[in-house]
Amino acid sequence: MTDSQTGTARLGRLPSTTRSELSHLALQLFMENGFEATTIDDIALSAGIGRRTFFRYFPSKNDLPWGDFDALLAQLRIRLHDLPREQPLVECLRLAVIEFNRFPAEEIPYHRRRMDLLLNVPSLVAHSTLRYASWRQVIAEFAADRLGLPHDHLEPQVIAWTALAVSMSAYEEWLKHDDADLSELLDTAFRMLGKTVTEAGSPS
C-alpha cells in the first residue's frame, strides 16, 4: 500500500494480506533481488505492513516460500485417512500426493519459483529438512496405521522416505521443462514405484 502523495509504502495491516499473498510477494522479491539480499524489512515494506505484523504470518524469512504448509499437511492427513482401507497402500499415496501437489493454473508460476528456491538456495535447503520431516511424518503415520505398526518402525519410515524421494524426483524433472505437467510426472513416478513393489513381491 502506498501513500498517493509521497509514493512511499504506508505501514499498517492491509485488509487483503494473507499468508499466501505475503508468500507470493516475497517470492517475487527473492527472484528479483536474491534470497539472501532480500530482508524481512524489504518484504514488510513492499507489503505495506510493519515488521511486527510480518511475524504474525511467518516466524522467519526461511518459512516464506512454504506458504501455508501446515494447512496443506492437515489436508493431506485427512485425504489419506478418507481413502478406502482396501485400496493398495502405494495407490493411496499416489492419489494423495498428486492432490497435495495440485495447484490452480495461476499458482503454477509461483510454485516453480518456490521449488527452485527450496532446492537450490543453501540456507533454504537446510531449513527444508524440518518441513520434509513433517511431511514424512504424515506419510509414516498413514503407512503405520495400514500395516499395524508403530509409526517409528522401520517399514513405515522406509515408505515415508521413499515417497519423498519419488516426489522429489518428479519435481526435479518438472523444473527442467517449462511445459511439463507436475501431476502427470507424480502419477508416472508413483506408478513406477507401485510396479516395483508389485514385482518385488511376486514369486520368482
> Which grid cell is 44?
514488510
The model's pLDDT over 104-157, given as tens digits with 9 standing for 90+, comes to: 998 898 899 999 999 999 989 988 999 999 999 999 999 999 999 999 999 999
- Whether the domain at 1-59 and the domain at 68-201 fall into the same CATH topology: no
**Of 69 and 9, more confident:** 69
- Domain map (residue ranges) of the chain: 1-59, 68-201
Those residues with Cβ within 8 angstroms of residue 89's Cβ, 6 or more apart along the chain or in another chain:
143, 146, 147, 159
CB neighbours of 144 closer than 8 A, spacing ≥ 6? Answer: 150, 151, 153, 156
* Domain 1-59, CATH: 1.10.10.60
Do residues 158 and 152 touch, judged by C-beta distance below 8 A? no
- Is it the case that residue 200 has pLDDT exceeding 60? no
CATH (residue range 68-201): 1.10.357.10
**pLDDT at residue 20, rounded to an integer:** 87
Q: Distance between the two ends of the chain, CA-based, in angstroms?
A: 67
Q: How far apart are CA 50 and CA 144, in angstroms?
A: 44
